[in-house]
Structure 1
Amino acid sequence: MKKVLVVLLAMLFVVSAFSFKAIMVTDTGGLGDKSFNDGTWAGIKRAADELGIKAKVIQSYEQADYISNLSKAAEEIQKEPDGGIVYAVGFMMTDALFQVAQQFPDVYFAGIDIAPPTDAVPPNVITFLFKEQESAFLVGYIAAATTRVGKVGFIGGIPIPPVERFRYGFETGVKVYNDLHGTNVTILKGYANSFSDPKKGKDLALAQFAGGVDIIFHASGAVGNGVIEAAKEKMVSLVGSEDLSKILEYAFDKGGFFAMGVDVDQDYMAPGVVLASAMKGVDTASYMGVMWAYNGEWVPGVHVLGLAENGVRISPMKYTKGLVSNRTLAELEYLVTMIKKGTLVIPDTEEALKSFRTPKIEFPF
């Protein structure tokens, strides 16, 4: 019995002594963006809590911080007896990630929304890319089906590839709805050239609303907080109340002003006003990376996640599902099936968008 107790205590010591750390380096949007950075951190924290390991965040305030912050994180990981993983968040960190990763070959690195600059990916690096166009297609289809004025808006942050893929998908969703239903919904587009300026997002949104738009989809990080704020202000001004039931009653009867969220489920930020969110599984990817590094299941290279991999999705529309017709929801389910099967391919480049033609689609209902 005594021998068994000694063995158990030894095992407990080994488990408790295991020292592994996950460090996330933010882009300039930082924590609190209620979007990309927050979503990535949520996945890392979930993995850390499950594994009982340490996790921390290093904030980047400008692009010049990327190399020094990633290097600082890697040096900190090297001090851990059992190592760890460093997360670089965002396309803008691409060059910094691959430069620093080569300098610290004994440290695991993961990049979110980062494509390797060459085909050769170091063995200590994984990156995650997403088919943003697929979830954006769904909100584009909903926007076209729901608009009362036939004009919707798109506001991007900086026109980098992930943001542009959101735009391609949104435009395709509107086009497919137009083609299938004989409508002519148009799109007003704008860019903030920032991911961290909510005021700029609000100004752009108010300008688009003044230009006749009633629904705006944003793909702009913390800038989008301003887009949502603008939609809420406009809607509350119409309704005369922030009460959810009154907003929904007004919206069901007369329409109004709406925003559409991005990256994570942002519907809660303005219940009844955020119509839907085009979600990407940054939390899933960040969780997976930590678990793979910890469990020795590391597979370097690029991992691309779309609807078929549950890497992108649309929010459950907890507050607003009743504003979307049952017919539209049924059509969406069918279109999702087509996308997963590959019979409906959503454009992921400007060239593919320009050449896209809606295939023959016959709904079985």
Structure 2
Amino acid sequence: MKKLLIVFLSILFVVSAFSFKAIMVTDTGGLGDKSFNDGTWAGVKRAAAELGIDAQVIQSYEQADYVSNLTKAAQEIQKEPDGGIVYAVGFMMTDALFEVAQQFPDVYFAGIDIAPSSDNVPPNVICFLFKEQESAFLVGYIAAATTRANKVGFIGGIPIPPVERFRYGFETGVKVFNDLHGTNVQIIKGYTNQFSDPKKGKDLALSQFAEGVDIIFHASGACGNGVIEAAKEKMVSLVGKDDLKSILEYAFEKGGYFAMGVDVDQDYMAPGVVLASAMKGVDTASYLGVKWAYEGNWTPGIHKLGLAENGVRMSPMKYTKGLVENRTLAELAYLVTLIKKGILTVPETEEALKSFRTPNIVFPF
């Protein structure tokens, strides 16, 4: 019995000696945003379950928490015999990530939506960036094709680069539809200037609806939960019922009020009211970062993901595809091939947006 106990303890020691941990530090939006942070955490959890490792979250409540939380996470990783990886989530954590990563060269760090100020990325850091403009182009085209008011809205959180890339893509999608179909769909734009207050998102959405908008695309984190709530309230007030069948029947005949989700598939949050979601693979990026660090397949630097890399996409429109004409969906599928081939380039800067001209596109059907 004593020998068995010694063998068991030896095995236990070997297992614990090769422990590996993944720690995600949220931005101020935090878990429960049903968007950016939740999507990233889903990827970390998926990797942890597959690899049999520990995964933890450290919540940031204000920007002043970033350096201390990343430092705490790195110190926790250093306690692990086999190391681990720290995830910094969001553009606002850029300075904090590079400050802390330099202090802990033996710890892997990964940043979501974080870009270095130069090409000199520390060897222990991976940065995942996305071509948000490409997925936003898709929902912009859908919005322009679906609106009955000829006026759609965009609500951003803080106008940081990822949010602005969503706006550029959305505006481009509307413009391309207008140019190809001779329409004049207008865009109203606004910002909540934060990511964590659904009430601000709802108030701004209601304001845009009052200005005649019938579809709003948000890129505003948890503020977008309020945008979706506002669209649902407006739609239910028209329909008189809140069940999916009644909403779809009314929308198919008369239109209504809609929201468009962001980062993850948010269509489920208000079935029939969330028309589509512009998704980016934050879950894929966070999964890959953990896996690469664990397996030793670490390539530091920037990894940029777009349609061609399957890093961004549009939701499958599980509830609402029937509200969009088949020809529009076919056109969109063809435009995706042009984007992947580089024939249609969706602007990723304000300057490129201003100078953008719709190329000569002829649909083969």
TM-score band w.r.t. shorter chain: over 0.9
2: CA distance, partners of 1:241 / 1:51: 46
Number of the residue aligned with 1:276: 276
SS at match of 2:298: coil
Matched, 1:355 2:359: no
Matched, 1:325 2:325: yes
Could you tell me how far 1:13 is from its partner in structure 2?
A: 6.9
Unpaired stretches in structure 1, ≥5 consecutive residues: 1-6
Could you tell me how far 1:119 is from its partner in structure 2?
A: 1.6
Could you tell me how far 1:15 is from its partner in structure 2?
A: 5.0
1: CA distance, partners of 2:107 / 2:17: 19
Is 2:17–2:81's contact at 8 Å kept on the other side of the alignment? Answer: no
Please tell me the residue identity of whatever aligns with 1:179. D
Q: Percent identity?
A: 87
Deviations 1:33-74 (A, max 9, x none): 000000000000000000000000000000000000000000
Please tell me the residue identity of whatever aligns with 1:108. Y
Please tell me the residue identity of whatever aligns with 1:51. L
SS at match of 1:94: helix
Could you tell me how far 1:230 is from its partner in structure 2?
A: 0.1
Number of the residue aligned with 1:215: 215
Matched, 1:155 2:121: no
Could you tell me how far 1:18 is from its partner in structure 2?
A: 2.3
Correspondence list, 1:182-193, <5 A: 182-193=182-193
TM-score by length of 2: 0.97
Matched, 1:95 2:95: yes
Is 2:17–2:82's contact at 8 Å kept on the other side of the alignment? Answer: no
Could you tell me how far 1:17 is from its partner in structure 2?
A: 4.6
Number of the residue aligned with 1:33: 33
Could you tell me how far 1:219 is from its partner in structure 2?
A: 0.2
SS at match of 1:232: helix
Number of the residue aligned with 1:248: 248
Number of the residue aligned with 1:4: none
Please tell me the residue identity of whatever aligns with 2:230. A
Is 2:169–2:348's contact at 8 Å kept on the other side of the alignment? Answer: yes
1: CA distance, partners of 2:64 / 2:136: 31
1: CA distance, partners of 2:262 / 2:334: 22
Superposition misfits of 4+ residues, deviation over 4 angstroms: 9-17
2: CA distance, partners of 1:221 / 1:267: 15
Could you tell me how far 1:16 is from its partner in structure 2?
A: 6.2
Number of the residue aligned with 1:337: 337
Please tell me the residue identity of whatever aligns with 1:332. L
RMSD (CA atoms): 1.5
Is 2:26–2:37's contact at 8 Å kept on the other side of the alignment? Answer: yes
Matched, 1:45 2:45: yes
Deviations 1:64-96 (A, max 9, x none): 000000000000000000000000000000000
2: CA distance, partners of 1:171 / 1:295: 41
Correspondence list, 1:285-324, <5 A: 285-324=285-324
Number of the residue aligned with 2:224: 224
2: CA distance, partners of 1:38 / 1:57: 11
Could you tell me how far 1:118 is from its partner in structure 2?
A: 1.8
Please tell me the residue identity of whatever aligns with 2:76. E
Q: Give the total of aligned pairs.
A: 360
2: CA distance, partners of 1:17 / 1:68: 27
1: CA distance, partners of 2:63 / 2:11: 45
Could you tell me how far 1:22 is from its partner in structure 2?
A: 0.2
Matched, 1:233 2:233: yes
2: CA distance, partners of 1:16 / 1:67: 29
Please tell me the residue identity of whatever aligns with 2:137. F
Could you tell me how far 1:356 is from its partner in structure 2?
A: 0.1
